[in-house]
Amino acid sequence: MSLPGTLGAMCGIVGYVGPQDARDVVLEGLRRLEYRGYDSAGIAVVADGRLSSVKKAGKLANLEKLLAEQPLPAATVGIGHTRWATHGGPTDRNAHPHLSADGSVAVIHNGIIENFASLRAECEKNGVEFRSDTDTEVATHLLAAAYAQAAEGPGRLADAMRAVCRRLEGAFTLVATVATEPDTLVAARRSSPLVVGVGDGEYFLGSDVAAFIAHTREARELGQDQVVEIDRHRGLTVTDFDGGAVEPKAYTVDWDAAAAEKGGYDRFMLKEIAEQPKAIADTLLGRLGPQGELVLDEVRLSDQELRDIDKIFVVACGTAFHAGMIAKYAIEHWTRIPVEVELASEFRYRDPVLDRSTLVVVISQSGETMDTLMALRHAREQKARVLAICNANGSTIPRESDAVFYTHAGPEVAVASTKGFLTQVVACYLVGLFLAQVRGVKYEDEVSAIVADLRRLPEAVAEVLAGMAPVRELARSLAGANTILFLGRHVGYPVALEGALKLKELAYIHAEGFAAGELKHGPIAVIDEGTPVIVIVPSPRSRESVHDKVVSNIQEVRARGARTIVIAEEGDDDVVPYADHLIRVPRTPTLLAPVVTTVPLQVLACEIADTRGLDVDQPRNLAKSVTVE
């Protein structure tokens, strides 16, 4: 038997109430959420006092095929789900929606109901027969029972939902519809994402705004432990789990629908790589206030609180963690505050020393990564101040932070982060400069000089992108490699880690990034005749002859048979004799160099994956937004 507690984790959720045909709106919403990663999908609609549902393992094409064979009736209310299973089979029976025994209540779910086992035992004792291995089904049966007991009349489904939510432990977004209420949808959230879109006489629910931005950009944030009832005629009502009224925060999504389309590219990732100059420029835009001072988006901290900070933790996962590693070099150098970088999944479990004078910078493109969210909550419980660097407006992480810096990358659809990463790095630079400025450790003209360097980055990245034809050719010759190693030093080290991560997740090739100086302490033993080694070379102007040391490292690996692929800045002739392949990048100040040196590695990984015939936008086993711990 599978482990139901971890099923349905990173799922996509769509709901619709309104005059359009719910079947089309929901299916289209699911298509827009495909990027989240999933392995089965399903839809339910209410029409003519009946609930009809279709679900199927595999990609949406399978569901669409089934829908052609078993069409659902036209409806004004519908829900849809894409399920990403972490354990247990991605089967038809485990796909959502899950229906009550009499088929009158349908539920979709994202998250984990941690106490599902005891609740399932209780339901079974009451004679309920389970038809799946999921934890979600427990919520469905409980909801059906609570609905049967709730007082008839408006608000009945919401009453039942609140009663169920009070009994659930864990993280969940639940959306439910019932056969007898053709104009009503009810949803609840605790620590799992859900946003509401408000159109003209119509309402949408989505795991993120991509589900509905083709229809409306007016949205409502749902807070922790809240239930929303949407009635086509009575509108939107939000309460807490005890029924207390809540006024949801309204916001306008600043992404347009076209931004979440491929726009002529074959792959989202190619488009997102190409968008990087603009994404960086947009992230820098409007950051200088009238007096030339740097501004963040939302700061609920006083200058005095920022001056009192004596330690910084940067906490994130995956690619965002690599951005955090780069941040450490820049923020420590500019502010002289000690900075530690931690994986969010490790942070709180080692009992870090945190207090009021600690600043925790959490970085998350999606704003929903559960490990990062839990680290944030732990930090706040310990009274630390939390600053979020985030791309998705209206997501949970910025909402729960003391200060927010939004990257303006636009929607990132490909699972592998590219423009999200570069804009996170740029945001980290700006946060470092902001702190340096508030604390008075940098003069304004020093800050302005660095900001001027930052402003040259979009052009530098565009220049790198324009010269990628040889990298694509090189990629094709690397597509058969079993292992590829990445070396870097100083800020080049996180770039090496990021290059290796991109290759692993896209091309499924074993890849590792090393600090170049560590190689001789062990990893050099794996180098064999022809092993591809990609080296990120620092600028010859970098301090403490780091450049020369990396050039020595290239010679060391080459002497042991490695095929060297060297990324070095224009004019660095020292590397020429030792490079089997040389990739040039524009001259860039040392601390800012990751923004340009990362780009060839993204293109390389994307091209190798493509040559291997792999799905670049949705690599196997991965989800875009990891909403379980």
- Min dist CB 154 to ligand M6R, Å, is 38
Q: How far is the CB of 415 from ligand M6R (least distance, A)?
A: 5
Asked if residue 627 binds ligand M6R (CB under 6 A), the reply is: no
Mark 267-306 with x for binding to ligand M6R (rule: CB under 6 A) and - for no binding. ----------------------------------------
| Gap between the Cα atoms of 104 and 473, Å rounded | 57
Q: Which sequence positions are flagged as catalytic? A: 11, 624
- Is 616 a binding residue for ligand M6R by CB under 6 A? The answer is no
Shortest Å, Cβ 219 to ligand M6R: 19
Residue 542 carries which DSSP code?
S
Q: In the range 398-417, which residues lie near ligand M6R by CB under 6 A?
A: 415-417
- Closer of 40 and 369 to ligand M6R (Cβ): 369
Which residues within the stretch 476-505 sit at the binding site for ligand M6R (CB under 6 A)?
505
The residues facing 195 across adjacent strands are 206, 221
Q: How far apart are CA 239 and CA 50, in angstroms?
A: 28
Report the C-alpha gap between 377 and 386 in whole angstroms: 9
Q: How far is the CB of 417 from ligand M6R (least distance, A)?
A: 4
Amino acid letter, 455: R
3-state secondary structure of 514: strand
Q: What own/partner pairs with CB < 8 Å and gap ≥ 24 does 573-582 have?
A: 574/540, 574/547, 574/548, 575/537, 575/551, 578/551, 578/554, 579/554, 581/470, 581/474
Considering the complex, what minimum distance in angstroms separates the CB of residue 614 from ligand M6R?
A: 14
The CB-side HSE value for 59 (13 A sphere, CA atoms) comes to 8
CB of 540 to ligand M6R, least distance (A): 31
Candidates 157-165, 208-216, 279-287, 314-322 — which segment interacts with ligand M6R by CB under 6 A? Answer: 314-322
Strand 385-390 versus strand 358-364 pairing type:
parallel
Contact of 209 with 253, CB cutoff 8 Å: yes
Min CB(407)–ligand M6R separation in Å = 10
Binding of residue 358 to ligand M6R (CB under 6 A) = no
Q: At 172, which helix (H) or strand (E)?
A: strand 170-178
372 in contact with ligand M6R (CB under 6 A): yes
**Binding test (CB under 6 A) with ligand M6R, winner from 80, 182, 193, 318:** 318
Identity (one letter) of the amino acid at 233? H
314 is an interface residue for ligand M6R by CB under 6 A: no
Tell which residue, 554, 276, 523, has the closest CA to residue 410: 276
Evaluate the CA torsion angle 11, 283, 257, 175 in order and state its sign.
positive
Residue with tokens 């491929």: 262
- The structure tokens listed for 456 are 């040259």
Which one among 369, 553, 564, 627 touches ligand M6R, defined by CB under 6 A? Answer: 369
| Helix, strand, or coil (residue 434) | helix
Nearest CB to ligand M6R, comparing residues 498 and 569: 498
Which CB, 370 or 537, lies closer to ligand M6R? 370
Q: In the set 184, 366, 396, 590, which binds ligand M6R (CB under 6 A)?
A: 366
Task: Confirm or reject binding of residue 365 to ligand M6R (CB under 6 A).
Answer: yes
**Residues at the interface with ligand M6R (CB under 6 A):** 317-320, 364-366, 369, 372, 415-417, 505, 622, 625-626
